[in-house]
Amino acid sequence: MKFWVFFDCTYLDNSRGSQYTSEDFRKELKRLGITQSLSGTGHCYDNARMESFFATLKKEKLYQIPTYRMTIEEVKTIVFRYIFVYYNRIRIHTSNPNGWPPQKYRDMYNTTLKAAA
């Protein structure tokens, strides 16, 4: 099993899907020093942030294009660009101060930390 690690992570909150409860997945988390938290069966609010993200992805992007005519690689490219180009860098997020996209919020936070040091 191979993980792509995009940022430091010590805690993973996810559902009880078979991909998350498999022995290989759990061993890899342990090897990486990541604590896993499985949501309760039938408790959708345990994973509300991800459910909200996927609803946004579907509404804003996937339902707007004919994915049924595309290859899986084309859809993967579209999803990747949506997340890493638009969602993280441009899209307004009401959960962040001033509605900043995640990347801008992270940059401002890091700048503030450096200035304080």
Q: What is the pLDDT of residues 36-94, one digit of tens each?
A: 777 666 665 566 777 788 899 999 999 999 999 999 999 999 999 999 999 888 888 87
Quick: pLDDT tens for 5-39.
555 566 566 666 667 778 888 888 888 888 777 76
**3-class SS at 73?**
helix
| pLDDT band at residue 115 using 50, 70 and 90 as cut-offs | confident
Indicate yes or no: pTM above 0.75.
no
Cα(11)–Cα(33) distance, integer angstroms: 9
